[in-house]
Structure 1
Amino acid sequence: MTFPKSVRLVEVGPRDGLQNEPNPIDTATKLELIDRLGAAGIAYIEAASFVSPKWVPQMADHREVMTGLTRRQGVTYAALSPNLKGLEAALECGVEEVAVFGAASEAFSQKNINCSVAESLERFIPVLERAQQAGVRVRGYVSCVLGCPYEGEIAPAKVAEVSKALYEMGCYEVSLGDTIGTGTPLAAKRMIEAVSRDIPMDKLAAHFHDTYGQALANLYAVLEEGISVVDSSVAGLGGCPYAKGASGNVASEDVVYLLNGLGIETGIDLEALADTGTWITQTIGRPNRSKVGVALAAK
């Protein structure tokens, strides 16, 4: 088995982790979180989401966040911008990279964004064209790659089809999301094998949720296949909106601890990252869902 020599961590805590928080989190806290993550050595941070505040009230201060952050050299600060309006606003704020998101499940696409998978992909074409004009790179997300809250299991071929469409449209990287965290290692391997027939392995990322406690096992399985980009969230911030009380994103600290144990380079200071997880969960009054973070804090 050949593991990658190094892994790039995509920190989604400030965006995916905070977006479902019911109580407003002030902009200063978000900015400090982003700064602490950069100081810990994380080189890619998803900082905000340029969507309607009506749908995601927690991200209403996206302009203040994007323009207020202290940019560190070598760190990419990205934002979600699923439509042209969001992209234009993000460009005005000097965003360097944006993300769009599709789904591998028809039912999820209909319930989440009120259109079919094909229609959702069509909508991204002008977004990618405009981003390319502006010299901004676009990352693509595919949700429900290992299961859907409405449809159950999802065929790997469907995941491959949606991923290929995003890649051919111009997404430089496609992040494969186990949105409800029901995947298991063999299913994760089979899904990655199917997608990598159409897209080079180094253009794929794993975005695995830990709802059923399988995220690290699933990540280990796809690292063996050659995946070298992993999305995670400090302190495991972010619940799963489709599974009440369930944890959402895999914790960045736990991923880094795993990678350290495998001798895979990340360039991340685990102690500083764990301190950040302790700080943010105490600040917003949330439990720390990182096993590693809790263990280090108890020392």
Structure 2
Amino acid sequence: MLSLPKKVEIIEVGPRDGLQNEKNRVPTEVKLRFIRALQDAGVSEMELTSFVSPKWVPQMGDAADIMAGAKRTGRPFVLAPNERGIADARAAGAENIAVFVGVTDAFNKKNINRTTEESMKQLAPQIRKLKEDGLFVRACISTAFHCPFEGPVDTERTVSLCRRFAELGADELSVADTIGMATPEESYRLFSRLKEELPDILLTAHFHDTRKMALANIFAALQAGVSRFDTSAGGLGGCPFAPGATGNVATEDVVNMLERMGIETGISVDGICRAVDEVVSHVSRPIATGMYTLYKNGQRIG
């Protein structure tokens, strides 16, 4: 076993990525209770919401209300896809902005109706301005491994896009297995390459659990030197523009694995499960992650 970190940072994406594709409309107050419970569980970095068109992602239509009602602790992120979204996010008081681009043109066109290159040209001045104003910029890289429309993605395409964000001054790269097709070998190869190429940027791995390989992919990323992971309480999530993408890897299962390996997260598994209780009756699919199932069966788990 290669050297593993002593501590891992968990970035909770449930309130945004976890709920954006939910068919049921989740009330704003329920989202706020969910956020508060996640904070109580020890989460310090979290995607709160996204400033996107409510026409295309109606679940996020209450972004300004979420920003107004959520307690600002740690590092709260909001997602903003373009100049309008960034302006709205800043007007709502956001200081940590996440932008996103797909490695493949086909995915990017389905998502935001632009090629990858068109998106980068549009985002470049926005990122520079955000950095000039002292804000934190997180760049989310979609379809880093596989694309639902183009198939396997060459490692160098992903590395090249990540390098461009780093050159623009992005503080963090969140590199995503958007449709959950990556293998541990692919995870280790890409993240080893990124750690070698971009040693000074925060590097975060984002795995979906479509084929139940997310925990294995996280272990491979740990061995590649990654110590930051996006996870979603209850395994909630999916992408409305990526056919076949199911939920994100569950926060409670990741924390359980890491803590049992002696890797500190500062997060309570029981606390995450209590947070899931706040939304479970409002989502359309059953939540049956390993640790949440134990919790519901009355077993003390953390």
1:7 maps to 8
Contact 1:201 1:226 in 2 (8 A): no
From the superposition, tell whether residues 57 and 273 of structure 1 become closer, same or farther in structure 2 (CA, over 3 Å): same
Unaligned 5+ segments in structure 1 are none
Task: Tell me which residue corresponds to 1:91.
Answer: 90
The answer on whether the counterparts of 1:235 and 1:278 sit within 8 Å (CA) in structure 2 is no
Q: Is the 8 A contact 1:207 1:230 kept in 2?
A: yes
- The answer for the alignment partner of 1:102 in structure 2 is 101
Q: CA deviation at 1:202?
A: 5.7
Match of 2:149 in 1: 150
Deviations 1:151-205 (A, max 9, x none): 1111111110011111111111101100000011001111112222321176211
Task: Give, in whole Å, the separation in 2 of the partners of 1:15 and 1:94.
Answer: 17
1:297 paired residue number: 296
Question: How many angstroms does 1:261 deviate by?
Answer: 1.3
Give the equivalent residue in structure 2 for 1:209: 208
> 1:10 and 1:89 mapped to 2: Cα distance?
23
The yes-or-no answer on 1:222 pairing with 2:221 is yes
In the alignment, what sits opposite 1:116? Answer: 115
Instruction: Give the distance between the partners of 2:45 and 2:288, measured in 1 at CA.
Output: 21
**2:37 matched to 1:36?**
yes
Per the alignment, residue 260 of structure 1 pairs with: 259
Cα RMSD over matched residues? 1.5
- In structure 2, do the counterparts of structure 1 residues 229 and 91 end up closer, same or farther at CA, with 3 Å as the change threshold? same
Alignment of 1:1-299 (within 5 A): 1-72=2-73, 75-200=74-199, 203-241=202-240, 242-244=242-244, 247-298=246-297, 299=299
Say if 2:47 and 2:78, in contact at 8 Å, map to a contact too: yes
**1:104 CA drift (Å):** 1.5
| 8 Å Cα contact 1:84/1:126 also seen in 2 | no
TM-score, reference length from structure 2: 0.94
The DSSP-based 3-state class of the residue aligned with 1:276 is: helix
Query: Matches of 1:279 and 1:48 in 2, distance apart?
Result: 17
Distance 1:297 1:201 in 2: 42
Q: Deviations over 1:13-56 (max 9, x none)?
A: 00001011122111101111111101100000100101111111
Q: 1:202 to 1:253 in 2, by over 3 A?
A: farther
Counterpart residue identity of residue 83, structure 1: N
Q: Aligned in 2, Cα 1:198/1:120: closer, same or farther, shift over 3 Å? A: same
**Contact 1:181–1:215 (8 Å) recurs in 2:** yes
Partner-residue secondary structure (3-state), 1:122: helix
Give 3-state SS (helix, strand or coil) of 1:196's partner: helix
**Aligned partners of 1:44 and 1:55: how far apart in 2?**
26
Percent of pairs with identical residues: 40
Equivalent pairs counted in the alignment come to: 296
- The CA deviation at 1:138 is 0.5
**Is contact 1:100–1:138 with CA below 8 Å preserved after alignment?**
yes
* AA aligned opposite 1:146: F
Mean Cα displacement is larger for which, 29-38 or 119-128?
119-128
Rate the CA distance shift 1:23–1:283 in 2: closer, same or farther, 3 A.
closer
CA shift, 1:243, in A, is 3.9
Give the Å deviation of 1:144: 0.7
Question: Alpha carbons of 1:276 and 1:112: their partners in 2 closer, same or farther (altered >3 Å)?
Answer: same
8 Å CA contact retained: 1:201, 1:227: no
Shift of 1:71: 2.6
Q: For CA contacts below 8 A with separation 6 or more, give which structure has more relative contact order.
A: 2
